[in-house]
Amino acid sequence: MNKKLGLAVAGAVMAFGASAANAGIIIPAGDWTLDIGGNVNTFYTYNKCDRNSGIAGQTACFGAGTVDDNQTNITTGLLPNYLSVSGKTRQNDLDVGFTISLQPGSSTNNALIQNQNGNNQENRQAFLTFGDASWGTIKLGKDLGIFGSDAILNDMTLLGVGGGGFLSGNTTTIGGIGTGYLYADWKAQVSYMSPNWNGFSFAAGVMQPWNNLALNADAAIGSRSTPGFEGKVNYEWAGDVSGKIWASFITQKLEDLGAGGILGDETARGFDVGATVKVAGFGLTGYYYDGKGIGTTGFLLGAVDAAGKRRDSDGGYVQATYALPGIGTKLGASYGVSNLDNTGTDGAANFVKKNERWTIGAYHPLTKHLNLVVEYSQLDTESHAAVQDSEQKTIAAGAILFF
């Protein structure tokens, strides 16, 4: 998969080994070379949700009450539909490039997000780059964040549905987001990526910071006067046993907590470590993250309590895959968990304590460009209010086409 899809698709294909096109539509245009490509995917999902009540910050069910909820959806998977245009050229001893992309959703049932037309669309990428192989690349614009990016790019459900099959009307499902890793998100940034020195490289960026999605009476927070900062180091190697190890971080201010800023400021931070190894058709990935004031899914969701005190969070996932010889079908199993701690001043607040997910899947390359996918996922959400738990089971079947 080439640069046209940026990190989102390219990383998924390389990490998971799914069938995909080797190039998009290449168009010479004067000094420029344009590349048009993307993917289209659609999945049928059947979702069975058992709940006692709605839990703030949960990933398993929406709504309140003690009734169960069975739902059928035809929707996009974790990877959105993607149409991307990239361009590159060499000028004044610099490699210069750009990427702009659109991500339209497939679903037409939008009761959850109040879009009566069902025409959900995102604009995840709009950035320019310049640099040289001798000293690295500078990026300006909107693209995938640095912290947590390897976690989602190595998630096998990036080519399927994972969790959140009930999210009809959204642009994507949630895969393993909030059940093993935080969402890297698509952020405005000024970032730098180093050259590759015999497998070692690093990246660092000044980022548009998150603003909080408050839970219940939690203090609404954000960062207005200072940016966020993210960075990553990684090492890759090839051979009969190939793989990659990485570590990344995120930090940003949480300013003016509470009404009128009376609770003062805090600092959100997180770090992660991960590794993936492949040998003889087998693949194994392990990942762990830890955070303070960073939340449980990303976006600072549940990051602080009503008194403005940071909540601790951690989690991770393990994943094993195997490609059947000859036919190329990849079988996979993944387990992930995300935890969000009580601060001690939360009392009996009803917010998520733990999200836990199992996924098993089969990913078959029907052609060079087209993959058929079948998955089963189970998400269990536990609340700090003990009787407020829920469970969601999702069966998903569909296809993803790269071009």
CATH number assigned to the domain comprising residue 293 = 2.40.160.10
Phi, psi of 156 (to 5 degrees): -65, -25
Find all residues with CB under 8 Å of 325, minimum gap 6, and list them: 281
- End-to-end alpha-carbon separation of the chain, Å? 9
pLDDT, tens digit, 9 for 90 and up, residues 316-363: 999 999 999 999 999 999 999 999 998 877 765 678 889 999 999 999
Domain ranges, residue 151: 3-402
Q: Cβ–Cβ contacts within 10 Å for residue 280, how many?
A: 9
Find all residues with CB under 8 Å of 60, minimum gap 6, and list them: 49, 51, 163, 355, 379, 380, 381, 390, 391, 392
Fill in the amino acid letter for 129.
T
The number of residues in the chain equals 403
CA 130 to chain centroid: 26
Evaluate whether 323 touches 329 at the Cβ level (below 8 Å): yes
What is the count of structural domains for the chain? Answer: 1
Q: Is 57 left (phi over 0), alpha (psi -120 to 50) or beta?
A: left
Give the whole-angstrom CA distance, residue 10 versus residue 282: 20
Segments in the chain below pLDDT 50: 1-8, 10-22, 54-60, 62-66, 110-118, 215-217
CA 403 to chain centroid: 22
Evaluate whether 373 touches 159 at the Cβ level (below 8 Å): yes
pLDDT at 166: 74
pLDDT at 104: 85
Give the whole-angstrom CA distance, residue 267 versus residue 218: 16
pLDDT, tens digit, 9 for 90 and up, residues 13-64: 433 343 333 457 899 999 999 999 999 999 999 998 876 554 444 444 544 4
